Copies of this chain bind each other. A is one copy, B any other.
Amino acid sequence: MDLGINGRTAILLGSSRGLGRACAESIAREGVHLVINGRTAADVESAAREIASTYGVTATAVVGDAYDEATQVRLLEAAPRPDIVLLNGEGPSPAKFGDISQGEWSEALHRGLVGPLTFVQKVLPGMCERRFGRIVAISSAMVKSPNSLMSLSHGTRLGLTGVLKGISKDVARHNVTINQILPERFDTARQEQMARIAMKMKGISYDEARAEQVASIRARRLGRPEELGDAFAFLCSAQAGYLSGQNIQMDGGSYEGVF
């Protein structure tokens, strides 16, 4: 399937590893030029180099926390007219609701809600003017079925979900779409970290923790990052211009609710 985005330009926040990296690969394969971002210079630079050489696209490395103003400025210097934007970033650690401090709330909300929206404010007018834009956020399945241990995560991400939905209605007429992918349990470093946390919390072995993760998913396996990458690529395609404001769960069929 030709996605019709050969030659387009994308800024991908949090794309040096894991799901973000998979998204980068899936659209590089389609001929999209990329700005790769992450906080660890070595990771970002090697990702950019590998992707550029594998797919024959330009891939610029911008190191820094994507939710700091200074990094956002540099991202846009690297690609002043992005057609595609991925909003992605590391989620906060689990914490008991009663233990969360006001400082932790502020930090999570800045990273997960205010920061991404500030970046959207910067790119949206140009996308509307140029009549092409594809904004996709990697959120979490928990925005639809929250677990109090992840309050910092879903509290933040649900706020973002609502704001993005509101905006999506305004910009649809300019061929700018805004969608979210809601992953649950992909086989990345994040799930390894969650398994280690479960080991401590429940006093189980690493293998048991991993087995519990698999058992919690209806598909009886974890997701593969490249599956999410390809769903992202489809949402970025030219032919996905009539599909906006959606929250698509990739959770191995696990969500209990109808909608």
Contact = CB atoms under 8 A, between A and B. Distances in A.
A140 to B, nearest CB: 10
Interface stretch (A10-18, A58-66, A169-177): A169-177
Contact of A227 (B97, B166, B239): B239
A173 B243 contact: no
A168 interface: yes
Interface residues of A, number: 84
Given A97-B121, A121-B98, A234-B1, A113 B155 contact: yes
A223 B239 CA distance: 10
A258 B144 contact: yes
A144 B102 CA distance: 26
Nearest to A143: B162
A194 interface: no
The residue among A171, A226, A230, A231 with the most chain B CB atoms within 10 A of its own CB is A230
Interface of A is mostly: helix
Contact of A155 (B162, B170, B217): B162
16 contacts: A102-B118, A105-B109, A106-B106, A144-B259, A147-B166, A154-B166, A155-B159, A156-B159, A162-B258, A169-B253, A172-B253, A173-B220, A242-B253, A243-B249, A245-B249, A258-B259
Given A98-B125, A151-B166, 10 more contacts: A106-B114, A144-B258, A155-B162, A168-B253, A169-B253, A172-B218, A227-B240, A247-B258, A256-B257, A257-B257
Interface of A: 1, 3, 26, 29-30, 97-98, 100, 102, 105-106, 109-110, 113-114, 117-118, 121, 124-125, 143-148, 150-151, 154-163, 165-173, 175, 177, 217-220, 223-224, 226-228, 230-231, 233-234, 237, 239-259
Q: Which 10 A-B pairs have the closest CB atoms?
A: A172-B253, A244-B253, A146-B166, A159-B159, A158-B162, A172-B218, A148-B166, A257-B257, A145-B256, A155-B163
